[in-house]
Copies of this chain bind each other. A is one copy, B any other.
Amino acid sequence: MSSDLLSIPAYEQYRIIHDIYVLLDDGDQRVLNNFRLTALQYGVLNLLDADEGQRLTTLSDQLLCARSTITRIIDQLERDGLVRRVGDAEDRRAQRVVLTPKGEAQRTQVRTLHEDSLERRLSILSLDEYQQLHWLLTKLRDGLRAQLDSDCYKGGSSRS
């Protein structure tokens, strides 16, 4: 598929995905600003649970950010009473993070507004197109994830 005359340049494809992300992100920020939440803080809240705790390492892996970033985000969320650190009984190095009742309520409220906003924004596409897009994107995502550790880039990784 690379050098076909009919093919779209990879750069243009990338540019579109990038534009969409920037546009969606801009809309997200408008929603999240009302709760004084950053995208990452919201991302953390969404991965958490009231019952089973998540390790900080797991969170940073899923959100592709540095370990120290998660530490500081949990610091803030804990200060705001939204989450709680619980020492892991089996491994005393690890901390498990759980949602407090307040955190759970907050997340539900934010998620509702966020989903409403998305529903409106994504209604650009028809149901058919929407489902097609979903299928294509899922395949792309899974493929990209599989590439993650294949080191197919120039130079080394930037993650700790």
Contact = CB atoms under 8 A, between A and B. Distances in A.
Given A13-B118, A30-B155, A144 B123 contact: no
A20 to B, nearest CB: 5
24 contacts: A9-B115, A10-B115, A10-B119, A11-B111, A12-B134, A13-B118, A13-B134, A17-B20, A17-B137, A20-B137, A21-B25, A26-B64, A27-B153, A30-B153, A30-B157, A30-B158, A31-B153, A117-B152, A117-B153, A121-B152, A124-B140, A125-B136, A125-B140, A132-B132
Interface of A: 1-2, 4, 6-14, 16-27, 29-31, 33-34, 63-64, 111, 113-115, 117-127, 129-134, 136-141, 143-145, 147-148, 152-159
Majority SS of interface residues in chain A? helix
Contacts of A155: 30-31, 33-34
B24 A18 contact: yes
B144 A14 contact: no
B2 A119 contact: yes
Given A16-B138, A33-B158, 16 more contacts: A4-B127, A7-B131, A10-B119, A10-B122, A11-B115, A16-B141, A20-B144, A23-B145, A24-B144, A26-B64, A30-B158, A117-B154, A121-B147, A129-B136, A132-B136, A133-B136
